[in-house]
Every structure is written in C-alpha cells, then in structure tokens.
C-alpha cells in the first residue's frame, strides 16, 4: 500500500511540474522543437494569400507572437495582419515554448491549414490565455481560422 501511495505522489508531482511552460527568456537564436532557420521564410501576412484554394500547405513563416499558453506553453497565437491571428500548436506535443516568447518575432517551420474551431475549444483557449471572464462569455459562435502545426520555432528578435 505504501508503494502505491508513493507512486501516486511521484506521478502527481511530475504532472504538477510539467504543467508549466518551460523556463527561458526566448532570446534571439533560441530554437524550440526541430532546428530551423530563416532561409526562404515568408511574412505571416502572406498566409491568407498562400492558403487560397488549398487545404494544407507546408510553410516557413516569420511573424510576431501575440500570446502563449500560460498553462504549459503548448500553443501560441501569431499575428498575421491587423485583424487576423493564426493559432499555433506544436506537432505531437513534442515541445513547448516559454511564456517569454510573447511579443517576440519568430520563424515557424510547419504546416498551415484552415479549421473551424468550436465554441467550447475557443473558450478553453481563452481560459488558458487568462482572458477576462467577460471576453470568454462573449464567445458564442464557432470561428474559422488559420491554424499552424509547428515542427520547429526559431526566435529572431
């Protein structure tokens, strides 16, 4: 019985420790996930044009991070233009990013696609992003959005 309780405590502590974004200052040159560079990258504002008529495309985009998941660093939002953001997840949850990445410019290597996100999922991400309850309650309809699945992320500034 003591072994079972001890094992439970170890699992609980491990999960608690893993439920936070990785530490780090997200300095220029830092790489998260697979190694990538800025060669042949396009500005994130080009995504809507590149996506026209296509379901999924491989991309290497440069853009500014607007928000990072405060729970684990498992997602981020990337500024596409003044009115559009792209939602980014890390491929296979293979890596996470520090919250210090917010406000930094990055190069993201991965795939882009369009997805209609449910109200429940939008509210979940708003809660993860520590949005005010009023903003969370205002989410009442699904949203079609650009999504990115990142293989690797390079901090450029």
DSSP string, 5-35: HHHHHHHHHHHHHHSSPPP----TT-EEES-
Model pLDDT for residues 12-34, shown as the tens digit of each residue: 444 444 555 677 788 999 999 99
Distance of CA 30 to the CA centre of its chain: 16
Q: CATH for 21-155?
A: 2.40.50
How much is the pTM?
Answer: 0.78
pLDDT digits (tens, 9 = 90+) for 29-60: 999 999 999 999 999 999 999 999 898 999 99
């Amino acid at each position: 019985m003591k072994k079972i309780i001890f094992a439970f405590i170890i699992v609980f502590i491990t999960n608690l420790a893993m439920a936070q974004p990785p530490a780090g200052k997200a300095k220029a040159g830092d790489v998260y996930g697979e190694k990538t560079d800025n060669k042949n990258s396009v500005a994130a504002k080009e995504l809507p044009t590149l996506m026209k008529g296509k379901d999924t495309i491989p991309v290497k985009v440069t853009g500014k991070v607007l928000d990072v998941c405060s729970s684990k660093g498992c997602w981020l939002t990337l500024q596409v233009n003044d009115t559009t953001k792209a939602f980014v997840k890390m491929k296979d949850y293979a890596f996470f990013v520090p919250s210090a990445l917010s406000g930094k410019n990055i190069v993201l290597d991965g795939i882009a696609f369009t997805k209609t996100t449910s109200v429940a999922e939008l509210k979940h991400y708003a809660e993860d992003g520590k949005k005010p309850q009023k903003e969370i309650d205002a989410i009442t309809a699904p949203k079609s959005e650009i999504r990115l699945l990142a293989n690797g992320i390079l901090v450029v500034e």
